[in-house]
Structure 1
Amino acid sequence: MERLVVTLIVALKLSFFVILVSATPKTVDIIKSSNLNGLKDEEILEVLSQNKTGISDNFTLAELIDHIGNNTVNEVWRRNDENDTDSYTNSFYAQFTEEIDRESRHLLDFVPAYQPGTGPVSAECRRESEIFKQELQKFSLWALKMFDATAKIPSGILNGNVNQFGDFDECMGVQGNEGIQGQYCLAYLKLDIDESRPDLKHIHKLLHAHYAFKSNLTDPGHRVPRFGTVNWAVCTPASCSPQDVEASLRHTLAKHTARTGLKITVKVDAEMCQKKVKESYPTETKIASAFFLGVIALAMLATVYDHLGLVASEYLLSFSLKKNFKKLVSLERGEGDIAALHGVRALNAMMLIIAHKSMALFFNPYVNRTEMTEYLGKPWTVIGRAASLYTDPFIMLSGLLTTYSFIGRLNRTGKLDVKSEYLSRLLRLVPTLGALVLFCTYVMPFMGSGPQWNLVVTHHADICKKTWWRNFLFIHNYFGFENMCLTHTHHLGIDTQLFAVSPVIVLLLWKKPKFGAFLLASLAVFSTILRYNVTYDRQLNNYVFFGTSIKQLFDTANHSYILPTHRLTVYIIGIFTGYLLRNFPKNYKLNPVFIKAGWVVSTLMFIGAFVGPATMGSINYVYNPTHAAIYNAFSPIGWCILFAWMAFLSHTGNSNGILTRMFAWRGFLICTRLSYAIYLTQFPVFFYNVGMTRSAEYYGFLRMMLNIRELIWIVVTSIILTLLFDTPFQNIKNYLLRKSKASAIESSQNEKSKGE
């Protein structure tokens, strides 16, 4: 333990070493030339004081040297000739061998260097690591950069500042002797303590930010962060494989943790080791990019035809940006529009963005991560923890609108054209989904880089390359959350599967209302019982409580959250609401006492669903399967029942209060038209930013949650997706339906004329 403490204490910033060297007697500054005086402490401090960057932008040793050196020095330290391997070596070493050896010894004693060639590694890795070691002792610039880019033990560890990303770009740019290239690896460390040491338990708890999430090295980390593991960056020669890096790290850490109460487990995934690769874009990426450029060109051409009033095909004009933008911003309500539902959709879309953003934030490193979790361990954080609630109204709205539409057709014609309904559904969902899958799979991985880029962006793309077909069959929600292409689209699978059986259900309810209502009520009760039993028996929790494990979250998703049988209750609530809206006239007046009672009951259920589990967000909460089962079984009902009641009262003219008027605001029509695209694009935007993050930040709740730039990007990408794919194919769908209807009328008239 003493050795570990010493290691923690001596891990200071590299800049202090420079000050130490400049103050050491009888040493020679290795970077001075014949006309360069020795550096003074004041001069170095002046340079450091010029660093006006934020807390996450460290001034590295290499940058300091580049800043204070003159042109002659910079030329010496840089490689001048591609074929001259000596240019990678510090040319001053021969002149000041004794001094440089002494100074490098001081540095490496003061801040030990990670040696990737230690332990059972490959011969080539050991050879290049030995070259790195020799050049580092000579203070060759490329070796200093590799040393500098590797993470060091920082201050603030007890405030959760344990995730260290080093310097990604500095490492990726390293070029050294004999073709040595820098490789950036983000290793996963699992810190365990001797359970017989109570003195270490509190320290361990602070290191891991009070265990806000519990995780293991084997947990999937691409969708939910491995909060319980430490991310530690090392810069190594590119010849070292991930297995070499893991072996050398394990060997190095074992020396420092021997005879201490700390045990460190190491894992290095191949995808988390990155190096510069001079390769052209894959053919698939070029084709995908050409496709998107083609769609943009098609939209521009259609816009020109539309604007100039030129004769063109209806299919071409469907892509007109002018036409589609007018539709997007139009505040005119369609026939049979249920006004209050637009506000319901907007509210839950906003809450879903907050919840998803909260989860994405946990991927990033913070200098005050422990303080962050203490701040988030409050009851009010139910806003972000109750993410599952905010998708339930969308399922309810789907059941409501489907039933409302089907009952209307049945009342008019007495039959349903199921084939047309399915085709309409596919044209509504598939083109936009297909565009997103294509973009995230083949284009987005080449739009950035960063320490976690391969984890949260490239890894998703690799999954989609293998399993994209499941998304287009809408069965991807049955293959596990961790194996799903674009996991946030699980809702589409659930909704489409429920829609597929809705014609039978609605037809039964229309033909035999009493039997149909009884059957639906029985199915709703059965679904509720399913949620309760599976949650209790499998120890699941649909609420992200403080201290939940990653395994528990994935098990909850796979065994309950993404299964349509478990989401059937709210869909049936929507079916009943849609049926009542069609069968109750708009001027039907309810008893005022009944209205008040309905408001009281639905409001209490709503508050209970939202506020009831708040204590589970407490930092001191201990998991209780009964609490979890009750929440999973009844909270969806309580959350949705208020929205259903409000929609019913508003549509039948029984309520015109401030709440109803607010939800019926015409501006929410635009949100409704963008809601599908917003749902699809928010995670790619969130994870793009996670992947690009290069260093720890200071966590501030409002600043992080209300990231205006990020929200603007979500809105902009949603508008683009809507104008280029969603609305055009809705136009095509409407055109085909009109054409089919006109053809049917013409056929009917011909048959009638023949009969006469």
Structure 2
Amino acid sequence: MRSTMRLLIVTLLILSAIYAEEISTDIPNENTEESILRVRSLPTTTEVVEKNWTSLSDTLDVFSARNLVRNWVEGKYAIGVQCSKDITTYVKALKNEELWALKVDDASGRYTNGFFWGNSFFTGSATECEYIGQDYSRKNLKIGTESSIEEVREFNAEPRKLISADHSGSNTWFQTDPIDTLPYRLGFYMMRLSVNASRYTTTRLIHLGVCLPFSCSASDVAVIGKLAAGEFAAKHSSIEKVRDQHNLYNMYTDPIFWILAGICTIVLILMILGTGYDYYLSKKVTHQKNVIYDLEKHGKLEHLTNGNGKALNAVPGKVYLPVPVADSSSNDVQPINNNNDRENGLQPTATTERRKLSIPEELLLSFSVAANLKIICDRNVGGDTISTVHGLRAISIAWVILGHTCIVLFKYSDNMEYRKVVEKKFLFQTITNGVFSVDTFFFMSGLLVSFLYFRTNAKGDLKRLTQGTRGFIAGTLKFIGLLLYRFSRLTAPYMFILGMVEISMKYFHSNSVFEPPTPDHYNCPNYWWRNLLYINTWFPVEQMCMLWSWYLADDTQFYIVGSVILVLATTYFKTAAFALVSLLISSWITTGYIALVNNHMPSSDDPLALFDKIYDKPWTRLGPYLIGMSVGYFLFKTDCKMKMSKTTVIVGWLLSSACLLSLLYGLYEAELAPATAAAYSSLSHSAWAMSLAWIVIACSTGYGGYVNKILSWPLLYPFSRVTYCAYLVHPLVIRLTAMNLDSPFHLGKDIVAVTFVGQLVLSYMFSFIVSLTFEAPVVSMLKILSPKKRRHV
């Protein structure tokens, strides 16, 4: 037994010696104990894989307080002296777990989730950063003052209170935090980083918000950002830009702000005076002072009354003031005899004489809020107006607002990939093909210009512009008159909104956590004159101020072309018709060629993919306008009266509906050949206008049925009359909503629907204000100042 034990011990010793010798040959110049420890520390195959593996959170660890504490050494990096001291204070406070430092870290953005679902906004919370150091539950503290420090000490010395709240039947307990004292002022910085997170993603732009000392400049924050990035994040990301809060935009130093403020003040005074004078005249009528003024210009019509309270017929366009001539005791006031007076049953007397409102009085009344509001909300339409147009306008502008709302929501969302999901839905084609709503406006614009021109010319009203002239000179005067009228009518509200866009985008470029969707803060101060001349679509889209104003530029250019054709048509109709058809065909050919060369696929490409080549260019969007002009002339020639068989009406409605529906939903999951896609891009907008042409003709000639009742619904008239201002205002309203957010949207059907309804309501609220302030007074003044025959006084 003993011999067996001895043999076993010897064997173990021999094996140990052999094993120790193998270790000594693998790890030379080390003692046995160190060698054993080294062997034990060698990683296994699994450990090697884990060490080389990098998680997504490591790659996207673009800013971490832990990394900043680990890497920070005061005075080592090229940043400002005060910023360096403040960062050192921050680092020490983090190590000591001081409350203010923890809140600063908490307010800074970081990767959470949803990167592959489209989340590119690690914005943190600018609002939380702003309120650090303030007792916002009771009152604000002045940072850095002795009184604030004493208040903090007193508050922290109080026992902590527990506040309970009942939410859905469960008790949630909140513990109040002690007030923290800031050693310096904080600032919120937005960093734009280029990140390549994995082999499955291309380089993405990440927008990161960080809360840091205000003493740090943008370049300082860029250095700090590199120190705060994780090891792997530093390799796969680079800082492109940092926006600081040192040179914040101050609108009170901007001349544009004071120009707009001055204009608003003047207009407000005129509105008060005009409304007051309107009220004064109305009161005089109420008190039997027998005052009447123009219904057409001011939306007011009062009955002329005699001394016995008996109402007499009023003559529109005249104001009757008691001017005694023979018998001062007479209360009867009647105008001097003329044809209009006889038609209205008024007979002359020797006791009174007629007086009209002076031009200054009429101009002042143009600013009357009550009169303009009555005109806008009037449930009747004039004889020269096609009532169907009102419904088309109201529906189309709502469609435009829906599309623009979705564009902004998609841009500033943390789940942008959700867009690809909803775009596969059949009904989403309604939003994708919202571009046709603009064609509706082009069609209606051409329709009304043509229809009203021929109506006005037939009445002889245009001769007032060309008295004593003929031929080319007369046509030139007509053209200039049409152009001046449109420029005067559109430009006042347009330039006012442009100024508002410039100021607001400058402000949000400095203060918002998001970058503005377009560089209006730069483009508007430099290129506003292009908007004033309505030629901004001739230049690159990157230089465009008020991107949505492309429609106004195109429509004005179409108006110029259309005016030439219309003036030409009064004398040389066949030549004008040939020019119209030639322009229409050339527009089709040009659009098809551009689409084919650029391989544009309307079935799969973004509708705005070729914005600078197809979408906003006048030579590619002219078709619907020319078709509208043709329809306007047709309705004028037929006087909106024609007979159609029942079969014709049914076939017309079926073809029109089929065309509209196929344009909206026909490309769903379709694959087009290049030539077919180019033909679709070329003809689809005109096909849409042709379908609308049937709707307008059928409704105007008595074959509209329920469609005409809907489109001519009087409730839509007020919204239609402010459509122009609604188009100008609504993108600004949408931007104000997005730019004021502290964090991105989260897409979903409910949030899109609720946001759209809110934007629609707000847009119309502001459009009514702008219309009452700028549009309606200008339209009224243009009627007053337009050439007219002088009436006998």
The reply to whether TM is greater than 0.5 is: yes
Contact kept? 2:446, 2:628, Cα under 8 Å: yes
In structure 2, the residue matched to 1:742 is 789
Distance in 1 of aligned mates of 2:59 and 2:619: 58
Q: Quick one: which of 749, 763, 771 aligns to 1:722? A: 771
Distance in 2 of aligned mates of 1:278 and 1:635: 45
Q: Quick one: which of 373, 397, 402 aligns to 1:325? A: 373
Distance in 2 of aligned mates of 1:595 and 1:113: 80
* C-alpha distance 279-138 of structure 1, shift in aligned 2 (>3 A): farther
In structure 2, the residue matched to 1:191 is 195
* C-alpha distance 717-178 of structure 1, shift in aligned 2 (>3 A): closer
Classify the secondary structure of the residue corresponding to 2:210: strand
Structure-1-length-normalised TM-score: 0.72
Classify the secondary structure of the residue corresponding to 2:129: helix
Deviates further, 440-449 or 459-468 = 440-449
Distance in 2 of aligned mates of 1:118 and 1:665: 74
User: For residue 266 of structure 1, what is the amino acid of its counterpart?
Assistant: I
> Bigger radius of gyration, 1 or 2?
2
Please say if 1:303 is aligned against 2:304.
no
In structure 2, the residue matched to 1:418 is 479
In structure 1, the residue matched to 2:666 is 612
Deviation at 1:363, TM superposition (A): 2.7
* C-alpha distance 542-406 of structure 1, shift in aligned 2 (>3 A): farther
Q: Quick one: which of 587, 599, 613 aligns to 2:641? A: 587
Structure-2-length-normalised TM-score: 0.69
In structure 2, the residue matched to 1:397 is 444
Classify the secondary structure of the residue corresponding to 2:667: helix
**Which structure features the higher share of helix residues?**
1
Distance in 2 of aligned mates of 1:631 and 1:116: 64
User: For residue 762 of structure 2, what is the amino acid of its counterpart?
Assistant: W
Contact kept? 2:589, 2:682, Cα under 8 Å: yes
Classify the secondary structure of the residue corresponding to 1:695: coil
Contact kept? 2:67, 2:229, Cα under 8 Å: no
In structure 1, the residue matched to 2:91 is 133
In structure 2, the residue matched to 1:289 is 261
Alignment of 1:207-606 (within 5 A): 229-249=205-225, 253=229, 255-257=231-233, 263-269=236-242, 272-274=243-245, 281-284=252-255, 285-309=257-281, 313-366=361-414, 368-371=415-418, 373-413=420-460, 417-442=478-503, 451-452=512-513, 455-456=516-517, 459-540=519-600, 545=604, 548=606, 553=608, 556-606=610-660
Deviation at 1:683, TM superposition (A): 0.5
* C-alpha distance 520-115 of structure 1, shift in aligned 2 (>3 A): farther
Classify the secondary structure of the residue corresponding to 1:229: strand
In structure 1, the residue matched to 2:750 is 702
* Unaligned 5+ runs, structure 2: 1-49, 133-142, 145-180, 285-356, 464-473
* C-alpha distance 641-251 of structure 1, shift in aligned 2 (>3 A): farther
Deviation at 1:474, TM superposition (A): 0.8
Classify the secondary structure of the residue corresponding to 2:191: strand
* C-alpha distance 151-623 of structure 1, shift in aligned 2 (>3 A): farther
Deviation at 1:468, TM superposition (A): 1.4
Aligned length: 604
User: For residue 771 of structure 2, what is the amino acid of its counterpart?
Assistant: T
Contact kept? 2:245, 2:510, Cα under 8 Å: no
Distance in 1 of aligned mates of 2:216 and 2:625: 54
Classify the secondary structure of the residue corresponding to 1:350: helix
Distance in 1 of aligned mates of 2:524 and 2:213: 31
Deviation at 1:266, TM superposition (A): 3.3
Alignment of 1:3-18 (within 5 A): 5=54, 8=57
Deviation at 1:179, TM superposition (A): 8.1
Deviation at 1:504, TM superposition (A): 1.9
Contact kept? 2:191, 2:209, Cα under 8 Å: yes
Contact kept? 1:379, 1:615, Cα under 8 Å: no
In structure 2, the residue matched to 1:221 is none
User: For residue 625 of structure 2, what is the amino acid of its counterpart?
Assistant: Y
* Unaligned 5+ runs, structure 1: 13-106, 196-200, 206-215, 217-227, 617-621, 750-756
1:62-116, Cα deviation, whole Å (9 max, x unpaired):
xxxxxxxxxxxxxxxxxxxxxxxxxxxxxxxxxxxxxxxxxxxxx9659989979
Deviation at 1:342, TM superposition (A): 1.3
Distance in 2 of aligned mates of 1:447 and 1:7: 32
In structure 1, the residue matched to 2:123 is 165
Deviation at 1:676, TM superposition (A): 0.3
Distance in 2 of aligned mates of 1:10 and 1:500: 57
Distance in 1 of aligned mates of 2:73 and 2:445: 56
1:24-53, Cα deviation, whole Å (9 max, x unpaired):
xxxxxxxxxxxxxxxxxxxxxxxxxxxxxx
User: For residue 165 of structure 1, what is the amino acid of its counterpart?
Assistant: T
User: For residue 642 of structure 2, what is the amino acid of its counterpart?
Assistant: Y
Deviates further, 386-395 or 629-638 = 629-638
Deviates further, 248-257 or 499-508 = 248-257
Distance in 2 of aligned mates of 1:193 and 1:500: 53
Contact kept? 2:502, 2:520, Cα under 8 Å: yes
Alignment of 1:37-48 (within 5 A): none
1:621-671, Cα deviation, whole Å (9 max, x unpaired):
x99755653442122122222211111122233x13211222122222212
* C-alpha distance 109-671 of structure 1, shift in aligned 2 (>3 A): closer
1:100-149, Cα deviation, whole Å (9 max, x unpaired):
xxxxxxx9659989979999753445454334323333344443333222
Deviation at 1:453, TM superposition (A): 5.5
Distance in 1 of aligned mates of 2:520 and 2:249: 23
User: For residue 700 of structure 2, what is the amino acid of its counterpart?
Assistant: H
* C-alpha distance 3-180 of structure 1, shift in aligned 2 (>3 A): farther
Distance in 1 of aligned mates of 2:784 and 2:568: 30
Distance in 2 of aligned mates of 1:473 and 1:117: 56
Deviation at 1:488, TM superposition (A): 0.8
Distance in 2 of aligned mates of 1:115 and 1:341: 68
In structure 2, the residue matched to 1:651 is 700
Contact kept? 1:587, 1:652, Cα under 8 Å: yes
Distance in 1 of aligned mates of 2:258 and 2:576: 53
Distance in 2 of aligned mates of 1:308 and 1:116: 77
Distance in 1 of aligned mates of 2:74 and 2:752: 40
Distance in 1 of aligned mates of 2:393 and 2:588: 23
Distance in 1 of aligned mates of 2:502 and 2:679: 39
Contact kept? 1:388, 1:542, Cα under 8 Å: no
Deviation at 1:386, TM superposition (A): 1.8
Contact kept? 2:59, 2:232, Cα under 8 Å: no
Deviation at 1:236, TM superposition (A): 3.0
In structure 2, the residue matched to 1:633 is 682
Contact kept? 1:541, 1:553, Cα under 8 Å: no
User: For residue 581 of structure 1, what is the amino acid of its counterpart?
Assistant: L
Contact kept? 1:356, 1:683, Cα under 8 Å: yes
Specify which structure has the bigger relative contact order, considering alpha-carbon pairs within 8 angstroms and separated by 6 or more residues. 1
Distance in 1 of aligned mates of 2:487 and 2:76: 56
Deviation at 1:720, TM superposition (A): 0.3
Deviation at 1:535, TM superposition (A): 1.8
Deviation at 1:526, TM superposition (A): 1.4
